[in-house]
Amino acid sequence: MEKSFTLNELAVLVEGEVVGDGNLQISGLNGIDYADAGEITFITSAKKTGQLAGCKASACIVPMECADLDLPCIRVQNPDLAAAVIHNHLLEVKFEAQGVVQPTHIGNKCSIPDEVTIGPMVCIGDRVTIGERVLIYPGVVLGSDTVIGDDTVLHANVSVAQGSIIGKRVMIHANASIGSDGFGYATDQSGNHVKKPQVGNVQIDDDVDIGANSCVDRAAFGTTRIRRGVKIDNQVMVAHNVDVGENSILVGQVGIAGSTSLGRNVVLGAKAGLAGHLKIEDRVMVAGMGGVHTNLKAGTVVGGVPAIDIKKWGKATASYARLPEMRKDLKKLRRDVDKLLDFINNSGGETDRERKEE
């Protein structure tokens, strides 16, 4: 069943240069500690060449600067990327549709092609449109009027609420919640909270990944939008009316409050939090655990709570542990200076009087 390619064929995929036997057959890719004969492995830096010593792989993807290795190689600019591309190619399988596996509930007026696999225990509402080669794992619930694009995969127990629009080649992992109500209340004079109806929806564009147990809330009005190529890790929270720009990355346990917009290729480190109604421009990076409550210009890199320039933050954190010592130094200085002032004052100087005036 395994597919097999020559080293030359794989090199073409990644614009790489073969060193050694280009006709070598490769049937898999594996990490350096796991690779076996017939597999290709990879190193991301020339410094790691030594790690290949005991490795059983038959070939290796290496950076351009690598030469004279004991095994056949594909030399590339970006071995990490080349490994991903080759690995995906080796794993590529034709979609094998199993159709709709019972028991399943499917509502009225749905459009479901033959070329799908819809696992048992799946519930699909009314007027749902499913694309070609969609794979829906057991326990998934799709609300009415949802749209699922071609080649999309919804893992076990994912919930997609009514009206959500999901693109092509999207992958949503287990127990994620798409399209739940946004968190919006108006408070009356007695302190009771009146729910603001959340009548918008969620739109997830092509090639988006969403991690397990993550949430993307539906908009109050309009649409919460996750744009093309965005990758979202586990347990991330995207609130109502947020707009996440193309190819942005939200690492695990990130939270984004309502109506904040992110540009393209923004990176939010693990557990970072963004306040609501912010404009975060292209390529902004927030260090893990950072808390942002101001707009950020393109390319800004910040850390800390509240988040500041990453370099300033790095320096400040380095001084933080010294705070108690600094306080002692300050007290000591104060005492010394007071003595000096006293001394000079007693010598007939004016300094002390001036000081008292302030």
Quick one: 297 or 315, whose CB is closer to its own copies? 315
- Helix, strand, coil % over all residues of the chain, rounded to 5: 20, 25, 55
What does the angle CA 111 – CA 112 – CA 113 come to, to the nearest 5 degrees? 120
Residues from 125 through 144 that contact its own copies (CB under 8 A): 137-139, 141, 143
Q: According to CB under 8 A, which residues from 31 to 50 bind its own copies?
A: 31, 33-34
State which residue, 33 or 68, has the beta carbon closest to its own copies. Answer: 33
22 or 106: CB nearest its own copies: 106
- Binding flag, residue 27, its own copies (CB under 8 A): no
Helices (H) and strands (E) in the chain, counts: 5, 39
Residue 221 interacting with its own copies (CB under 8 A)? yes
Instruction: Give phi and psi for 340, each to the nearest 5.
Output: -60, -45
Map residues 337-356 to x or -, x wherever contact with its own copies holds by CB under 8 A.
x-xxx-xx----xxx--xx-
Site for its own copies, residues 53 to 112, rule: CB under 8 A: 78, 80-81, 83-85, 87-88, 91, 101, 103, 105
Task: Return the C-alpha torsion angle 91, 172, 307, 277, nearest 10.
Answer: 140
**130 sits in which H/E element:** strand 129-130
Within positions 161 to 220, which residues make up the interface with its own copies, using CB under 8 A? 161, 171, 173-177, 180-181, 183, 185-188, 191-197, 199, 207, 209, 211-215, 217, 220
The answer to the question of residue 335 lying near its own copies (CB under 8 A) is yes
d(CA 337, CA 294): 41
- Which single residue is written with the structure tokens 């749209």? 147
How long a stretch of residues is the chain?
358
Contacts of its own copies in 242-271 (CB under 8 A): 246-247, 249, 251-253, 255, 257, 264-265, 270-271
Pairing state between β 165-166 and 147-148: parallel
173 classed as catalytic: no
Minimum Å gap between C-beta 9 and its own copies is 18
Question: Cα dist. 284→101, 161, 225, 261, 280 in Å?
Answer: 44, 31, 18, 12, 7
| Binding residues for its own copies restricted to 272-301, rule: CB under 8 A | 273, 275, 288-289, 291, 293
Residues labelled catalytic: 240
